[in-house]
Chains A and B, each alone.
Chain A
């Protein structure tokens, strides 16, 4: 077991840290104040990042991506955590691996332009009546000759206003329960497809979230992604690695950045004649945050290595998702406490990190749902999740 970065990994993460610091950090406050990322800024960061091969690094090289291993991708995503959701999306891309399940024609039409940053897309599973219970969706796609007619509604869809197309789940067989759900690629602009107004959120300024309405939208046979009825299976198979990256790794990166600022504050801020970092109650908070970050990071890397060895690691991913997002929650909560009033004041960064952090325990499966996944596996018999000898 070697807990050490290779020369290449170390150079990659320090280069990204520098790139993010110079190219992206200056935009964060502007986005926070204006609520959006200006088009010319978005284009510039996309170009600068693409020129360096930093766009869509998770996608295999044969499809034009960076071809990173899972572990390398996690190292990279951890650095992405150093900036905001919208800036990550525009600079580094959000190319879900679900499109790799497409036919060569589908890859040509939807995956390749996404890898190049010419088109972007969102995943649209959630509905007003179906959040955690993804199998209870009501959106339907019924066959009519060789086309599909899509109707229903999705909600909370990230980046909906910017995205060019959507990967949408719909019931194709009412009788078949969760085996009756299929996945479609739905282009923006199709007749009957409308997108609602932005739903402002607690945090994540700059990214829009909206409802999608499908009113008998006609879809060609080429829009069915993966086999009919395999929608949930496909989601299960292809979204795990993304979850590990976008929630696990990013949460750890965010927690790291926040702890850095917190330690600096504890050094600088003086009360009762000494830096507050000399008070034991502050020290406990700092030590706890560092320990939790380190533990979550080790769990992240171990899980990534397990995936690179060919394991699906479904429950391990759930474990990291919960551990990392809850670590972030505690670290940022302590940060507010240690910053005191200036941790709560708008316009100073900690308040924003606090709001931005909260969603990590909710989206991509709530903590409760992932704990359920873990516990069900344990009860069925999965000692390898906690017992070394059983691995």
Chain B
């Protein structure tokens, strides 16, 4: 089967996020960017399917500025066969991403799409679900295990209170949870080979998708620093404070 993985370029998880001085967003200039960790898991799963012979082709897709090519190359170095970049400098909201991915799916006709369950920058956790809805495909979100048999995908999901296993007919959309696998290191030969793998570039116009934002960001602020704790003498004082200061009892 043909598998498509979506990979997003985000601020590296080690970076201390700084809010821009005009409160319009977070600082991304001269900041280390990496592949969204959940997407790395998606690529790893695809590469394992490729190695096991379940997948015949693995395509890494990214959407965003030209620099996303680096993110795609990371996927290629891990083992994806080729890349697709939908190049745009627009701020993409999850719905726009889902529409663009649908347009890519219409071109490529994959049997399976794997995405991260969310991106660590905006934590929206929407794209996979929206994409499944737009395509009218079944979805298995928060996958912690994935198996294929008889043309079906068995997806084990982490839900409140335990694990749930769904059997999806194909084609389908899967989103990954942390425990699905542990992404590999790219090897030196594969890093060098990734340079030669093809990346097709499309514009949002090529795909005929309107990506105009539907939300307006009013302000981005640093979280409030926590106030210093105090040590109380005894339970009586605690009760007193809960009553008079916190006013919760």
In Å, the complex CA distance between A98 and B220 comes to 57
Given A7-B69, A8-B192, A8-B194, CB of A53 within 8 Å of CB of B74: no
**Contact yes or no, B188 A11, CB < 8 A:** no
Given A7-B69, A7-B70, A7-B73, CB of A12 within 8 Å of CB of B185: no
- A2-34 interface (Cβ within 8 A of B): 7-8, 10-12, 14-15, 18-19
Given A8-B194, A8-B195, A14-B34, CB of A66 within 8 Å of CB of B188: yes
In Å, the complex CA distance between A75 and B242 comes to 57
In Å, the complex CA distance between A10 and B70 comes to 9
Question: Chain A residues near B194 (CB, 8 Å)?
Answer: 8, 11
- CB A92 to nearest CB in B, in angstroms, measures 11
How many chain B residues sit at the interface, stated as a range, is: 10 to 19
Nearest-neighbor residue (CB-CB) of B34 within chain A: A14
**Contact yes or no, A54 B186, CB < 8 A:** no
**Contact yes or no, B34 A53, CB < 8 A:** no
Given contacts A15-B191, A18-B185, A51-B187, 18 further A-B pairs with CB under 8 A are A8-B77, A8-B191, A8-B192, A8-B194, A11-B77, A11-B191, A11-B194, A12-B188, A12-B191, A14-B34, A15-B185, A15-B186, A52-B186, A52-B187, A53-B187, A54-B187, A57-B188, A66-B188
Nearest-neighbor residue (CB-CB) of B192 within chain A: A8
- A66-92 interface (Cβ within 8 A of B): 66
> Could you tell me the dominant secondary structure of chain A's interface residues?
helix
Question: Chain A residues near B73 (CB, 8 Å)?
Answer: 7-8, 11
In Å, the complex CA distance between A12 and B186 comes to 8
- CB B37 to nearest CB in A, in angstroms, measures 11
B225 CB within 8 Å of chain A: no
How many of chain A's residues have a CB under 8 angstroms from any CB in B?
Answer: 15
Most chain B C-beta atoms within 10 Å of own C-beta, residue among A10, A15, A57 = A15
**Contact yes or no, A11 B69, CB < 8 A:** no
In Å, the complex CA distance between A11 and B191 comes to 7
Question: Chain A residues near B189 (CB, 8 Å)?
Answer: 53
Question: Chain A residues near B191 (CB, 8 Å)?
Answer: 8, 11-12, 15
**Contact yes or no, B74 A11, CB < 8 A:** yes
- B34-93 interface (Cβ within 8 A of A): 34, 69-70, 73-74, 77
- B180-224 interface (Cβ within 8 A of A): 185-189, 191-192, 194-195
Question: Chain B residues near A51 (CB, 8 Å)?
Answer: 187
Report the tally of A-B residue pairs with Cβ distances under 8 A: 38
Encode contact with B along A297-341: 1 for CB under 8 Å, 0 otherwise. 000000000000000000000000000000000000000000000
Question: Chain B residues near A7 (CB, 8 Å)?
Answer: 69-70, 73, 195
**Contact yes or no, B188 A53, CB < 8 A:** yes
- CB B185 to nearest CB in A, in angstroms, measures 5
Question: Chain A residues near B192 (CB, 8 Å)?
Answer: 8
Nearest-neighbor residue (CB-CB) of B182 within chain A: A22
In Å, the complex CA distance between A239 and B77 comes to 32
**Contact yes or no, B70 A52, CB < 8 A:** no
Residues of B within 8 A of A (CB): 34, 69-70, 73-74, 77, 185-189, 191-192, 194-195
- CB B34 to nearest CB in A, in angstroms, measures 7
- CB A241 to nearest CB in B, in angstroms, measures 18
Given A7-B69, A8-B194, CB of A52 within 8 Å of CB of B77: no
Nearest-neighbor residue (CB-CB) of A48 within chain B: B185
Question: Chain B residues near A12 (CB, 8 Å)?
Answer: 188, 191
In Å, the complex CA distance between A14 and B189 comes to 15
Partner of B185, one of A8, A10, A52, A66: A52
Question: Chain A residues near B77 (CB, 8 Å)?
Answer: 8, 11
- CB B62 to nearest CB in A, in angstroms, measures 13
- List, sorted by A's number, 22 A–B pairs whose CB atoms are closer than 8 Å: A7-B73, A7-B195, A8-B77, A8-B192, A8-B194, A11-B70, A11-B73, A11-B74, A11-B77, A11-B186, A11-B191, A11-B194, A12-B191, A14-B34, A15-B185, A15-B191, A51-B187, A52-B188, A53-B187, A53-B189, A54-B187, A66-B188
In Å, the complex CA distance between A189 and B77 comes to 43
Q: Which 9 A-B pairs have the closest CB atoms?
A: A53-B188, A52-B187, A7-B70, A7-B73, A53-B187, A53-B189, A15-B185, A15-B186, A66-B188
Nearest-neighbor residue (CB-CB) of A23 within chain B: B185
Given A8-B73, A11-B77, CB of A54 within 8 Å of CB of B188: yes
Nearest-neighbor residue (CB-CB) of A267 within chain B: B16
- CB A327 to nearest CB in B, in angstroms, measures 22
- A252-284 interface (Cβ within 8 A of B): none
In Å, the complex CA distance between A136 and B77 comes to 50
Most chain A C-beta atoms within 10 Å of own C-beta, residue among B186, B188, B191, B195 = B188
Question: Chain A residues near B34 (CB, 8 Å)?
Answer: 14
- CB B192 to nearest CB in A, in angstroms, measures 7
Most chain A C-beta atoms within 10 Å of own C-beta, residue among B74, B185, B187, B195 = B185
Question: Chain B residues near A57 (CB, 8 Å)?
Answer: 188
Nearest-neighbor residue (CB-CB) of B186 within chain A: A15
Nearest-neighbor residue (CB-CB) of A19 within chain B: B185
- CB A21 to nearest CB in B, in angstroms, measures 10
In Å, the complex CA distance between A19 and B184 comes to 10
In Å, the complex CA distance between A14 and B73 comes to 13
In Å, the complex CA distance between A51 and B188 comes to 9
In Å, the complex CA distance between A7 and B197 comes to 13
In Å, the complex CA distance between A142 and B77 comes to 53
Question: Chain B residues near A66 (CB, 8 Å)?
Answer: 188
Nearest-neighbor residue (CB-CB) of A66 within chain B: B188
In Å, the complex CA distance between A57 and B192 comes to 13
Question: Chain B residues near A53 (CB, 8 Å)?
Answer: 187-189
In Å, the complex CA distance between A53 and B192 comes to 11
Most chain B C-beta atoms within 10 Å of own C-beta, residue among A19, A53, A66 = A53
